[in-house]
């Protein structure tokens, strides 16, 4: 991934001197004290993304982001019921796993996740993560936005 790495916190960004809150945070800081279900869902989600292709973790106090070569395309955080977070997709998906879908840019919709069972990480969900991974690689920019 091209871009800029903050000398203070080590986070990587696409744009030089991109504004952010500097802090060194690890997965244990995000998932420390999380339920066993949240941990299991995170491990499965991470394995699913890793199966699709190379990615980089972008960890903040609020969650663990998954970055492709172009941008962060997904993020997760523990909740009382499992995992929350988002996927960036080019099309609206109507499914119970998404609590809300909002336009994010001309080409993207942010799909807010709510996962509470390993069964939800099925073939359909893997396809949506694969589509989000393509967003992380910038492939959505190759399509005509109209």
Residue by residue, DSSP assigns 59-97 as EETTEEEEE-SSSEEEEEEEETTEEEEEEEESS----TT
- Start-to-end CA distance of the chain, whole Å, equals 28
What is the value of pTM for the model shown?
A: 0.83
The torsion angles phi and psi of 73, rounded to 5 degrees, stand at -120, -10
pLDDT of residue 18: 60
pLDDT band at 10 (very low <50, low <70, confident <90, very high): low
Mean pLDDT in residue range 43-56: 97
Residue 133: C-alpha distances to residues 47, 53, 65, 69, 144 (Å): 13, 8, 12, 9, 18
pLDDT band at 145 (very low <50, low <70, confident <90, very high): low
Name which of 109, 51, 55, 112 is nearest 79 in CA terms.
112
As given in the structure block, the two tokens for residue 80 are 């009382």
- Tell me 127's DSSP state: H
pLDDT band at 74 (very low <50, low <70, confident <90, very high): very high
| Level-2 CATH architecture, domain 25-142 | Alpha-Beta Complex (3.90)
Name which of 137, 79, 88, 136 is nearest 112 in CA terms.
88
Q: How many residues does the chain have?
A: 146
Name which of 129, 137, 133 is nearest 70 in CA terms.
137
Residue with tokens 């099925």: 122
pLDDT of residue 35: 97
């Amino acid at each position: 991934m091209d871009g800029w790495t903050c000398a203070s916190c080590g986070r990587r960004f696409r744009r030089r001197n991109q504004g952010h809150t500097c802090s060194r945070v690890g997965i244990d800081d995000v998932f420390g004290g999380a339920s066993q279900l949240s941990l299991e869902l995170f491990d499965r989600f991470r394995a699913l993304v890793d199966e699709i292709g190379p990615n980089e973790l972008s960890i903040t106090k609020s969650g663990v982001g998954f970055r492709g070569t172009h941008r962060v395309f997904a993020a997760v955080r523990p909740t009382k019921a499992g995992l929350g977070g988002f996927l960036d997709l080019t099309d609206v998906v109507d499914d119970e796993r998404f609590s809300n879908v909002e336009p994010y840019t001309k080409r993207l919709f942010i799909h807010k996740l709510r996962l509470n069972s390993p069964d939800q990480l099925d073939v359909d969900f893997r396809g949506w993560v694969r589509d989000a991974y393509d967003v992380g690689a910038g492939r959505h920019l190759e399509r005509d936005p109209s």
